[in-house]
Amino acid sequence: MRHIDSAEQAIINGLQGGFPLTQRPFHDAGVELGLSESELLDGVRHLVADGRLSRFGPLWDAEGLGGDVCLAAMAVPRERFEAVAEQVNAHPEVAHNYERTNALNMWFVVSAEKAGRIAEVIDEIELETGLKVYAMPKTREFFIGFRLEV
């Protein structure tokens, strides 16, 4: 991983936890960070392309919008992991797919516009992969304000 320059540092530190909802959000965010609109856009693109940021985008409150969210996990044979990951990730409702080093080695989030769609997606994944999906719906919500300053 290469060194993070001052503009990239400003982007990472400054865009955690808020983004302007304006006609020109990248311009307005850039002003706050001491960057031009194009410097901010280029910086975000490079950070994502280099893998130093895994994603840049909003976090939607699916439940607040009438939908639902569910954490799910699977026990995937090592030799099938990549193929199963492609099958799971092909569903537009699936995000945040991670490999873990335990019996349930694939963890992902299913987020849907309608609450009933979660069960349908899980059923589809089980049918496509032949593997059990363990759904772990949220029972309580906690807000943890996590910031990573670089």
Say if 142 falls within a structural domain. no
**113 and 78 co-located in one domain:** yes
**43 and 76 co-located in one domain:** no
**Buried-state track 109-133, b at ≥16 Cβ within 10 A, e below 16:** ebbbeeeeebeebbebbeeebebeb
Say if 78 falls within a structural domain. yes
**76 and 30 co-located in one domain:** no
Please state, rounded to an integer, the average pLDDT across all residues of the chain.
Answer: 87
**24 and 82 co-located in one domain:** no
Q: Which of 49-58, 62-71, 121-130 has the highest mean pLDDT?
A: 121-130
Give the CATH number of the domain where residue 73 resides: 3.30.70.3460
Q: Which of 113, 110, 123 is nearest to 69 (CA)?
A: 110
Q: Which of 92, 111, 8 is nearest to 50 (CA)?
A: 8
Q: In which band, very low, low, confident or very high, does the pLDDT at 43 lie, cut at 50, 70 and 90?
A: very high
Say if 84 falls within a structural domain. yes
**Claim: this prediction has a pTM higher than 0.85:** no
Say if 13 falls within a structural domain. yes
Tell me, what's the pLDDT at 62?
Answer: 66
Using a pLDDT cut of 90, give the percent of the chain over it. 55
| pLDDT per position as a tens digit, 69-123 | 899 999 999 999 999 999 999 999 998 788 999 999 999 999 888 878 999 999 9
Output the six-digit token pair for 67: 């939908």
Say if 56 falls within a structural domain. no
**79 and 127 co-located in one domain:** yes
- State how many domains the chain has: 2
Q: In which band, very low, low, confident or very high, does the pLDDT at 144 lie, cut at 50, 70 and 90?
A: low
Tell me what the mean pLDDT of segment 1-16 comes to: 83
**37 and 89 co-located in one domain:** no
> Which residue range(s) make up the domain with 125?
68-137
**30 and 72 co-located in one domain:** no
